[in-house]
């Protein structure tokens, strides 16, 4: 594996680290936000969802600049969004300014969820693509863990009413690092070919590696897939010939959020407090969730190109069903009166849940979305998958506080039933994409 390829993938994946940090950091601030801005459960849910509304818009709008300006240049813009959002959220002077800056950060998250994995997929030979794109997911998970840990450390400083502002503000520093490191990355060779900049594309392929052995063969294969005589990068996505990748993208993205994963990411301390944990204990248990997420993501990253995407999804789906069933049972059985045994059962169940997610959906979704669309509509297709993911995330995160107030048991039971649906989809519908070049996947789907 060439040094330039690894370096470029790691730097691009920092968009994922900021994605994870920005997504999870609010989990430590919900109690402060509710008190400082005097929010109802509905308004708290909307405060959390404000960033997710940004991710929905960011995901659906990022495809065009990614095609026009290039994947790398778009990442510069997203890094700027992250920085301004972190600074603005920390200095927010009222609820409405806070919502605006969180929305801006959401634009960065939504855009990064499209561009970072797509860029890595386009610079990577097929035999390395799964694990390199999965580096994005590793960084997302690392970002989540860093947010949980950062929140805990800041809590220990006894900063009082400024505590939540520091939690948001620290994101400025990784955002700056991401921006300046991007200058080291080359442009995507597939984007360069689409723009007719063949000499530059050849130079990038020489540094990053090819699937076909020679650079000239690789260039011809990319040109054939683009079919520039009959198609362009402005071609509409919603056509009959693209129906298979469209349905696959929408389905995997919907199932990802119907597991309830973002309810746990955004409200982990809240969930543990529902089970009787103190605030500091809840944050510590949240760090355990983040650590488990990181560990099993690392395991999945090392084997995804060997075992394939479907096997990881199968294992993860079974783990989802068992852990969500146990979580629902704990809430039904203990209600509002959790004892030590009940709290331990809940913690173990949620750790199994996060391990199942990290090993299955978490490791697979961004890899799979970056693979299944042809070169000429990949940006639009990735945007559609990310849009679906974030739309569902907004629905789940907005509704969770209100539904959980009524019954935690029914909430997690619903997520478990949805995961039975995912298991059936993986068994009967999901194709395997490991070890196949992006252009060959296009041909297997019958797309000319």
Please tell me which of 145-149, 413-417, 443-447 the model is most confident about, judged by mean pLDDT: 413-417
State mean pLDDT over 187-206.
88
Residues in CB range of 160: below 8 A, 6 or more apart: none
Identify the DSSP state of 242.
Answer: G
SS (H, E, C) 15-46: HHHHHHHHHHHHHHCHHHHHHHCCCCHHHHHH
Number of structural domains (the chain) is 1
pLDDT one-digit tens code per residue, 216-232: 888 888 787 776 544 55
The CATH number of whichever domain residue 289 belongs to comes to 1.20.1250.20
**What is the pLDDT, as a whole number, of residue 377?**
84
**What is the pLDDT, as a whole number, of residue 81?**
94
**What is the pLDDT, as a whole number, of residue 3?**
86
Is the pLDDT assigned to residue 63 strictly greater than 70?
A: yes
Is the pLDDT assigned to residue 334 strictly greater than 50?
A: yes
* Cβ(35)–Cβ(87) below 8 Å: no
Question: Pick the residue with more confidence: 399 or 17?
Answer: 17
**What is the pLDDT, as a whole number, of residue 230?**
45
State mean pLDDT over 183-199.
89
Identify the three-state secondary structure at position 289.
Answer: helix
pLDDT one-digit tens code per residue, 282-304: 666 777 777 888 899 889 988 88
Is the pLDDT assigned to residue 130 strictly greater than 90?
A: no
Q: Is 307 exposed, middle or buried (0-12, 13-18, 19+ CB in 10 A)?
A: middle
State mean pLDDT over 60-76.
89
State mean pLDDT over 366-388.
87
The closest alpha carbon to 350, from 364, 335, 329, 368, belongs to 329
**What is the pLDDT, as a whole number, of residue 1?**
65
* Cβ(432)–Cβ(303) below 8 Å: no
- Residue-number span of the structural domain to which 113 is assigned: 3-444
The encoded tokens of residue 101 equal: 């800056």
Residues in CB range of 385: below 8 A, 6 or more apart: 249, 250, 252, 253, 365, 369
The region of weakest confidence among 181-190, 312-321, 338-347, 430-439 is 338-347
As a whole number of angstroms, the longest Cα–Cα distance in the chain is 68
The region of weakest confidence among 29-33, 180-184, 363-367, 379-383 is 29-33
**How many angstroms separate the CA atoms of 294 and 243, rounded?**
34
**How many angstroms separate the CA atoms of 264 and 287, rounded?**
12
The closest alpha carbon to 219, from 241, 240, 200, belongs to 200
Q: Give the number of other Cβ atoms within 10 Å of residue 230's Cβ.
A: 9
Q: Give the number of other Cβ atoms within 10 Å of residue 278's Cβ.
A: 10
């Amino acid at each position: 594996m060439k040094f330039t390829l690894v370096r470029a993938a790691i730097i691009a994946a920092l968009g994922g680290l900021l994605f994870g940090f920005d997504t999870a950091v609010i989990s430590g601030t919900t109690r402060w936000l509710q008190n400082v801005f005097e929010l109802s459960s509905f308004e708290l849910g909307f405060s959390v969802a404000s960033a997710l509304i940004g991710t929905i818009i960011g995901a659906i709008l990022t495809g065009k600049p990614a095609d026009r300006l290039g994947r790398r240049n778009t990442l510069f813009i997203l890094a700027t969004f992250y920085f301004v959002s972190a600074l603005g959220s920390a200095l927010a002077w009222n609820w409405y300014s806070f919502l605006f800056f969180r929305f801006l950060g959401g634009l960065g998250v939504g855009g990064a969820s499209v561009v970072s994995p797509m860029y890595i997929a386009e610079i990577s030979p097929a035999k390395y693509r799964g694990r390199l794109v999965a580096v994005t997911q590793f960084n997302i998970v690392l970002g989540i863990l860093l947010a949980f840990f950062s929140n805990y450390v800041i809590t220990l400083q006894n900063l009082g009413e400024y505590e939540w502002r520091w939690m948001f503000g620290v994101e400025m520093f990784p955002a700056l690092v991401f921006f300046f490191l991007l200058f080291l990355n080359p442009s995507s060779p597939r984007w360069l070919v689409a723009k007719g900049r063949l000499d530059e594309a050849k130079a990038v392929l020489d540094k990053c590696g090819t699937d076909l052995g020679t650079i000239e063969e690789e260039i011809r294969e990319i040109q054939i897939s683009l079919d520039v005589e009959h198609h362009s990068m402005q071609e509409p996505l919603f056509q009959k010939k693209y129906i298979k990748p469209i349905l696959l993208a929408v389905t995997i993205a919907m199932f990802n959020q119907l597991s309830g994963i973002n309810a746990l990411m955004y409200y982990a301390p809240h969930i543990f407090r529902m089970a009787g944990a103190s605030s500091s204990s809840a944050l510590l248990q949240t760090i355990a969730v983040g650590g488990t997420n990181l560990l099993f993501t690392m395991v999945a990253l090392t084997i995804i190109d060997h075992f394939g995407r479907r096997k990881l999804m199968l294992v993860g789906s079974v783990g989802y069903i068992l852990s969500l069933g146990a979580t629902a049972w704990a809430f039904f059985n203990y209600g509002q009166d959790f004892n030590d045994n009940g709290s331990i059962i809940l913690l173990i169940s949620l750790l199994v849940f996060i391990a199942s997610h990290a090993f299955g959906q978490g490791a697979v979704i961004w890899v799979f979305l970056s693979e299944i669309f042809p070169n000429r509509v990949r940006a639009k297709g990735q945007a559609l998958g990310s849009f679906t993911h974030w739309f569902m995330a907004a629905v789940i995160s907005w509704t969770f506080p209100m539904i959980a107030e009524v019954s935690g048991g029914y909430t997690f039971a619903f997520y478990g039933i949805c995961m039975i649906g995912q298991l059936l989809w993986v068994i009967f519908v999901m194709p395997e994409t490991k070890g196949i070049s992006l252009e060959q996947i296009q041909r297997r789907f019958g797309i000319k």
